[in-house]
Amino acid sequence: EAGVTQFPSHSVIEKGQTVTLRCDPISGHDNLYWYRRVMGKEIKFLLHFVKESKQDESGMPNNRFLAERTGGTYSTLKVQPAELEDSGVYFCASSQGRGPYYEQYFGPGTRLTVT
Amino acid sequence: ILNVEQSPQSLHVQEGDSTNFTCSFPSSNFYALHWYRWETAKSPEALFVMTLNGDEKKKGRISATLNTKEGYSYLYIKGSQPEDSATYLCAFMFDSGAGSYQLTFGKGTKLSVIP
């Protein structure tokens, strides 16, 4: 069974540019999560999709971040325009169910550097 | 604001030594505690999902215990091997109130096993 995949693995962009990150969850997982780790800090929740619906987007930093999951399969996270403080590793995770006892399976992350 | 603390921040041990580290979390409104093993540039790998006070779980040479009343969990590694070198993350699962359960991570304990 294929795991969670993310593309690209690295992205270097200039301040003010736009970047789109992609996540492909494990097939059949309705629940998809985005997290971010800024250097030296802990991994932080951004948002949670159930199928194509945003269940919880309380962790999204501001309106420069837009997440979509059309068709309830893969998801994209767009940052527009990027700022220096957006640099970090963006993780995607998926799970079969949304309860607290379900494992969340993580992808390898996209390392974003904004210069 | 939920606080998940891990100690120590980093640890160097000799191959063959046994070691343990701590995760502290809020003792109220407990749902689950997740442990992950993370090597940089790879996907965080789920180790355990711990749900009940007094839980003890084991996977090979790695085991974990849980005390929800006092808000801590220990991770033990018996006979450390160089391949155990990684960052060990714990994450407290809480109900965001938006029909979603979020993982709140600690900063991790970085383990280096010296051959």
- Please indicate whether, in this complex, the C-beta atoms of A106 and B51 are within 8 angstroms of each other: no
Computed from CA positions of residues B17, B22, B23, B27, in that sequence, does the dihedral angle turn out positive or negative?
positive
CA distances from B36 to A34, A87, A106, B43 (A): 16, 23, 10, 10
- Please indicate whether, in this complex, the C-beta atoms of A101 and B32 are within 8 angstroms of each other: yes
Decide: helix, strand or coil at residue B82: helix
What would the mean pLDDT of A39-45 be, rounded to a whole number? 93
B32 touches chain A (CB under 8 A): yes
pLDDT at residue B108 greater than cutoff 90: yes
What would the mean pLDDT of A66-82 be, rounded to a whole number? 95
pLDDT digits (tens, 9 = 90+) for A76-113: 999 999 999 999 999 999 999 888 889 999 999 999 99
Closest CA to A41 of B103, B105, B85, B25: B105
Of B100, B103, B107, the CB nearest to A55: B100
Find the closest chain B residue to A49 by CA distance.
B100
pLDDT digits (tens, 9 = 90+) for B17-75: 999 999 999 988 889 999 999 998 899 999 999 999 999 999 999 999 999 999 999 99
Of A35, A59, A100, the CB nearest to B93: A100
B59 touches chain A (CB under 8 A): no
What would the mean pLDDT of A56-60 be, rounded to a whole number? 93
Asked if residue A113 lies in contact with residue A39, where contact means CB atoms within 8 angstroms, the answer is no
